[in-house]
Amino acid sequence: MSVEPKLRGRPEKIFVSVDESTARSTLSFAPPDSGDPFQYDDDKSGTRAMKDANAIIAKYPGCTIHGPHFHAARPPRARPRPRKPA
């Protein structure tokens, strides 16, 4: 059972991002003051986040979902690579 994020206002956009390295998904909103980002643990595919995002747009017609966007966090001990001169 998912816990739907609390919103302080009407969101215009919902962004769904999934960090594949930590299996955590995040819902964030635009404008930012409409609600705080909400994270789901153990959601590597983003299905729980998308389910709650669809529930939110059912309450706020005209709101759009952007994502899910998949990415991987940099390993904790990774060193940044220097840029090659152009």
DSSP-derived letter for residue 59 is: H
How confident is the model over 39-85, as pLDDT tens digits? 999 999 999 999 999 999 999 999 999 989 998 877 777 677 788 88
pTM greater than 0.85 (yes/no): no
How confident is the model over 7-52, as pLDDT tens digits? 889 999 999 999 988 899 999 999 999 999 999 999 999 999 999 9
Where exactly are the structural domains of the chain? 13-71
Angle subtended at Cα 51 by Cα 62 and Cα 22, rounded to the nearest 5 degrees: 120
CA 80/CA 40 separation, integer angstroms: 28
